[in-house]
């Protein structure tokens, strides 16, 4: 009897879904096996072999729009869709008792609350970015913002491909929360999104600026700037392949399958929330 965990990929026709499927088919993460691939009805991906759809060897798994059927016998689902779609998936995942790795961003407060309620029934790993490097960066940003608390302004610049819909990115917002935590601020009270025109006063001290670039095929670049008088410090992460995020999501899936119900993040998956 196989000890492999059975994985369903939701959003199988997308860029991230494709990267996850390629990594699964090529067995880049041990102990996981593709069981199902789901995409919304009416798309060209429906009925195609999930592996061949993304240039990988045949997986023997046709893409379907029936999420409930795909979840039968699964251990964990990985979801990179839209905020509205993921919110609609919550009750099905909870009802099936399947662990959920959620990399979707752009949730409203109401959608986020609806999604996180499933933590009472299943393990949910919810993170705006699943790369190891970004999650280490979050920790460094908090420490830097705390250490450079006097006289250093904080600005966050992010670049993504032209097809990304939400701005700023979920990762940029997470970096903003990390910086705000280092300063003892509430991000909602100090965030500023872009600038234009003439301003009457100087930049406020209690402010975190966000700037979103959309164009080309940037996978994801994030830079946190701490600018002081006479010097600046920049903490940056640049992704050059979606496989970075795919492998992180698969690592989260292996960790979440069979775990106790609850809402977790990548810090828990990577052990970064443990005391040294």
Enumerate the active-site residues: 160, 164
Strands 220-228 and 231-239: antiparallel
Closest CA to 255 of 89, 29, 37, 86: 29
**Which residue blocks in 33-169 are alpha helix, DSSP H?**
50-53, 67-70, 83-96, 109-116, 132-147
Helix (H/G/I), strand (E/B), else coil: 143: helix
Report helix angle 243-256 to 15-25, nearest 10.
70
Question: At which residue do the structure tokens 């997986």 appear?
Answer: 59
d(CA 137, CA 200): 34
**Residue 158 three-state SS:** strand
| Residue 171: Cβ within 10 Å count | 27
| Number of Cβ within a 10 Å radius of residue 130 | 29
Sheet holding 32-38, edge to edge: 63-64, 32-38, 5-10, 76-79, 99-102, 123-126, 262-264
Residue 30 three-state SS: coil
- With a CB cutoff of 8 Å and minimum separation 6, the contacts of 260 are 123
């Amino acid at each position: 009897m196989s000890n492999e965990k059975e994985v369903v990929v939701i959003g199988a026709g997308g860029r991230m879904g494709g990267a996850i499927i390629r990594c699964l088919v090529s067995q880049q993460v041990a102990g996981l096996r593709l069981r199902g691939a789901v995409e919304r009805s009416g798309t060209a991906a429906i009925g195609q072999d999930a592996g061949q759809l993304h240039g990988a060897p045949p997986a023997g798994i046709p893409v379907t729009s029936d999420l409930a059927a795909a979840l039968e016998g699964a251990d964990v689902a990985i979801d990179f869709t839209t905020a509205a779609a993921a919110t609609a998936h919550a009750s099905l995942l909870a009802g099936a008792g399947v662990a959920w790795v959620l990399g979707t961003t752009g949730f409203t407060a109401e959608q986020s609350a609806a999604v996180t309620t499933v933590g009472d029934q299943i393990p949910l790993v919810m993170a705006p970015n699943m790369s190891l490097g970004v999650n280490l960066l979050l920790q460094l940003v908090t420490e830097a913002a705390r250490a450079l608390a006097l006289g250093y302004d904080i600005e966050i610049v992010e670049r993504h491909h032209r097809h990304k819909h939400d701005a700023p990115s979920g990762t940029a917002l997470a970096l903003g929360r990390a910086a705000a935590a280092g300063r003892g601020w509430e991000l909602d009270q100090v965030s500023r999104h872009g600038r234009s025109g003439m301003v009457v006063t100087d930049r406020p001290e209690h402010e975190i600026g966000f700037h979103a670039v959309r164009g080309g095929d940037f996978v994801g670049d994030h830079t946190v700037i701490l600018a002081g008088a006479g010097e600046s410090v920049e903490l940056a992460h640049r992704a050059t392949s979606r496989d970075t995020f795919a492998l992180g999501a698969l690592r989260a899936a292996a960790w979440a399958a069979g775990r106790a119900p609850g809402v977790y993040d990548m810090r828990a998956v990577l052990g970064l929330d443990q005391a040294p």
